Structure 1
Amino acid sequence: MRLSTVILPIDRWRDGGRDKWRRAEELGFHAAYTYDHLAWRTFRDGPWFGAVPTLTAAAAATERLRLGTLVTSPNFRHPVTLAKDLITLDDVSGGRITLGIGAGGNGYDATTLRRAGEAPWTPRERADHFEEFLLLLDRLLREPTVTFEGQLYAANEARNIPGCVQGPRLPFAVAATGPRGLKLAARYGQAWVTTGDPKLYESGTPEQSVAAIRGQISRLGAAGEAIGRDVSEMDKILLTGFTPDRPLQSFDAFVDFAGRHYELGFTEIVLHWPVADSDFAADIKVFERIATEGLSQLV
């Protein structure tokens, strides 16, 4: 099992932003991700920087740390322009980029680019966009020239030369829990991402959460079987902070949490870098001890 972190893009680069990414590498995290949103929940009225420029700067400030989004969505992205950004990121980082990608939701990203009174996509429409988005993005990152005309997206001789440093393209970590999303994860993903069952966050128990995630893993397996893929080869990533557990409450709490999810088959746990006065508040000393010692307790 690997341990990674999410660094929210809320700090000016010269006032602590750069230091967090460098510290993540010093602590030995496998990867450091950032959210790809225009604004997000309780952070909407505070500082929030763009994911692609932030990751570019992080690539220049680090040497070994894997980097990526957790997650990007079609809500305000287009496959053609995103592919160009990703190929550039992969080049600048020397092949250290993972694209976390999902269908998106009903937050600010879903409405910021809409005209006044225009409704955000329905769940079905989000799923439709996500499916075609992944199909086209996969081709754009593999092929030097792509022409494509779908129901929702198009590309006319889109060129992406020289392509990704990582071959045949940089890895996708597909976030999904529903039937259509899990099929896409099985088809396109080198990794699968879950945050657990959101219905259990406030009133559920850790035991109920484990049972719900076990069910998700089972359905991912069935989706793989349907297309002839053994999904045991896929990395399985748990983004923490959205289950009834509180793994950053103490070192022992994390060890218990990690052990339960290691037994489920997860290969990577992602912890939020502590943010004071937020849902992600935590003792930085506990966080750093977990980073350096936490997984050794699972051996």
Structure 2
Amino acid sequence: MSLRLSTVILPVDRWHEGGRAKWQRAEELGFHAAYTYDHLSWRTFRDGPWFGALPTLTAAATATDRLRLRLGTLVTSPNFRHPVTLAKELISLDDISGGRITLGIGAGGNGFDATALGQEAWTPRERADRFGEFVPLLDQLLTEGAVTEYGARYSAVEARNIPGCVQRPRLPFAVAATGPRGLKLAARHGQAWVTTGDPSLYEEGTPQESVEAIRGQVEKLGGACAEIGRDVAELEKILLTGFTPDRRRPLESVDEFVDFAGRHQELGITELVVHWPVPDSDFAVDQVVFEKIVTEAPAQLR
């Protein structure tokens, strides 16, 4: 199987001042998918422009060809979302895009989103508990026309979602998870699984240690699938790059990228996601080299 190459476009540009052009260029370059982060603000971009994910994807859906480029979040979390309202927005977005949406979804973290609504930041256990309710309820809301479900943290009362998604039985979930509870959710509800590698290795680890850590994650995903009698091969396995010890090195040349991609393809990774260049940031790479990688590397990875 060939390795799919996708990109994540940070929502930092006004739509008519460069935003639209990036999504259209992503389509022209032949990316499998273009994602964006679903945050209220994020890391070093907190005090600069940052636009909403779902409106941005709606605009991208109308600016790109419905036969060529998938679109999605990478990732959405419960930090400031509720399954009932999110389901309605996703069904609308899937319709507008012609059935091109993938929902990347994760448990969230302790970033700015975690307290923006005035709540205390959740503990890791609370995030896992919420994620464990959020994903199954969202799955139900996207596949059934009317849902009533009472949970400890999330409920739906006669929630209507007619006509449902264009994609059947619903749009695909790409579940970001590395812990046992999250991996079980990925196995049961995911059409794809997402990892960024092992964050503990980012500062001090080596590229080879990172590869071995991801190998272990893939094996644990296989174990979670086996527990429910599912073939792990049914799940796409997505690596969001930029958070491994390699940092930006894979985007320095075509050869560097092919080497990086090949090592992860051997682990079973089926889709690599690279950050669209953002000047004066952690994602500042040469645009010319970036586009050369996108156009030349895939042929070497088949």
Same fold (TM over 0.5): yes
Give the equivalent residue in structure 2 for 1:259. Answer: 262
Q: Secondary structure, in 3 states, of the residue corresponding to 1:163?
A: coil
Give the equivalent residue in structure 2 for 1:40. Answer: 42
Q: CA deviation at 1:233?
A: 1.4
Q: CA deviation at 1:179?
A: 0.7
RMSD of the alignment, in Å? 0.7
Give the equivalent residue in structure 2 for 1:289. Answer: 292
Q: CA deviation at 1:215?
A: 0.3
CA displacement, residues 258-298 of structure 1 (integer Å, 9 cap, x when unaligned): 00011111110000000111111100011101111111112
Give the equivalent residue in structure 2 for 1:189. Answer: 190
Give the equivalent residue in structure 1 for 2:27. Answer: 25
How far, CA to CA, are the matches of 1:249 and 1:185 in structure 2?
A: 33
The runs of at least 4 consecutive aligned structure 1 residues that moved more than 3 Å come to: none
Give the equivalent residue in structure 1 for 2:63. Answer: 61
Instruction: Choose 19-28 or 106-115, whichever is displaced more.
Output: 106-115
5 Å-filtered alignment, 1:92-241, equals: 92-115=96-119, 119-241=120-242
How far, CA to CA, are the matches of 1:265 and 1:154 in structure 2?
A: 37
How far, CA to CA, are the matches of 2:137 and 2:218 in structure 1?
A: 26
Q: CA deviation at 1:35?
A: 0.1
Give the equivalent residue in structure 2 for 1:250. Answer: 253
Q: Secondary structure, in 3 states, of the residue corresponding to 2:251?
A: coil
Q: Secondary structure, in 3 states, of the residue corresponding to 2:158?
A: strand
How far, CA to CA, are the matches of 1:247 and 1:188 in structure 2?
A: 32
Q: CA deviation at 1:247?
A: 1.1
How far, CA to CA, are the matches of 1:69 and 1:228 in structure 2?
A: 28
CA contact (8 A) 1:80 1:137 kept: yes
CA contact (8 A) 1:139 1:146 kept: yes
Amino acid at match of 2:269: F
Q: Secondary structure, in 3 states, of the residue corresponding to 1:33?
A: strand
How far, CA to CA, are the matches of 1:136 and 1:265 in structure 2?
A: 29
Q: CA deviation at 1:203?
A: 1.2
Amino acid at match of 1:32: A
CA displacement, residues 35-67 of structure 1 (integer Å, 9 cap, x when unaligned): 000000000000000000000000000012100
Amino acid at match of 2:260: F
How far, CA to CA, are the matches of 2:133 and 2:43 in structure 1?
A: 27
5 Å-filtered alignment, 1:3-18, equals: 3-18=5-20
Q: Secondary structure, in 3 states, of the residue corresponding to 1:98?
A: strand
| Structure 2, unpaired ranges of 5+ | none
CA contact (8 A) 1:172 1:191 kept: yes
Q: Secondary structure, in 3 states, of the residue corresponding to 1:247?
A: helix
Amino acid at match of 1:4: S
Instruction: Choose 10-19 or 196-205, whichever is displaced more.
Output: 196-205
Q: CA deviation at 1:252?
A: 1.1
CA displacement, residues 133-182 of structure 1 (integer Å, 9 cap, x when unaligned): 00100000000000010111111100000000000000000000011100
Q: CA deviation at 1:231?
A: 1.0
CA contact (8 A) 1:56 1:92 kept: yes
Identity of aligned pairs, percent?
Answer: 77
| Structure 1, unpaired ranges of 5+ | none
CA displacement, residues 56-102 of structure 1 (integer Å, 9 cap, x when unaligned): 00000001210000000000000000000000000000000000000
How far, CA to CA, are the matches of 2:161 and 2:234 in structure 1?
A: 28
Q: CA deviation at 1:108?
A: 0.4
CA contact (8 A) 1:90 1:166 kept: yes
Q: How many residues align?
A: 296
How far, CA to CA, are the matches of 1:295 and 1:65 in structure 2?
A: 16
